[in-house]
Amino acid sequence: MPLFMDVHSLGDGVTMDDVARAHAADLATQDAHEVSYLRYWVAEGEGQIFCLVEAPNAEAADTVHREAHGLVADHVYAVQEGS
Amino acid sequence: MPLFMDVHSLGDGVTMDDVARAHAADLATQDAHEVSYLRYWVAEGEGQIFCLVEAPNAEAADTVHREAHGLVADHVYAVQEGS
Chain A interface, best mutation among B5, B26, B52, by max A CB count within 10 A: B5
Residue range A8-37: average pLDDT?
96
Residues A64, B26: Cα–Cα separation, whole Å: 36
- Contact at CB, B43 and A83, closer than 8 angstroms: no
Give me the amino acid identity at A16: M
Give the tens place of pLDDT for each residue, A39-82. 999 999 999 999 999 999 999 999 999 999 999 999 999 999 99
Give the tens place of pLDDT for each residue, B3-61. 999 999 998 889 999 999 999 999 999 999 999 999 999 999 999 999 999 999 999 99
CATH number of A3-79: 3.30.70.3090
Partner B contacted by A71 (CB < 8 A):
no
**Least CB-CB distance to B41: which of A23, A42, A79?**
A79
- Quick count: other Cβ atoms within 10 Å of Cβ A72? 14
Partner A contacted by B70 (CB < 8 A):
no
Chain B residue at shortest CA distance from A39: B82
Looking at residue A11, what is its pLDDT? 87
Please check whether residue A66 is in contact with residue A26, taking contact to mean a CB–CB distance below 8 angstroms. no
pLDDT at A83 over 90: no
For B74, half-sphere exposure in the C-beta direction (CA atoms, 13 angstrom radius) is 9
Partner B contacted by A24 (CB < 8 A):
no
- Quick count: other Cβ atoms within 10 Å of Cβ A65? 24
Centroid of chain to Cα B39: 8
- Contact at CB, A41 and B52, closer than 8 angstroms: yes
Give the tens place of pLDDT for each residue, A13-25. 899 999 999 999 9
Which of chain A's residues have a Cβ under 8 Å away from the Cβ of B46? 77
Chain A interface, best mutation among B9, B41, B80, B81, by max A CB count within 10 A: B41
Looking at residue A4, what is its pLDDT? 98
Looking at residue B12, what is its pLDDT? 87
Going along B3-74, which residue ranges are E strands?
3-9, 36-43, 48-54
Please check whether residue B50 is in contact with residue A7, taking contact to mean a CB–CB distance below 8 angstroms. no
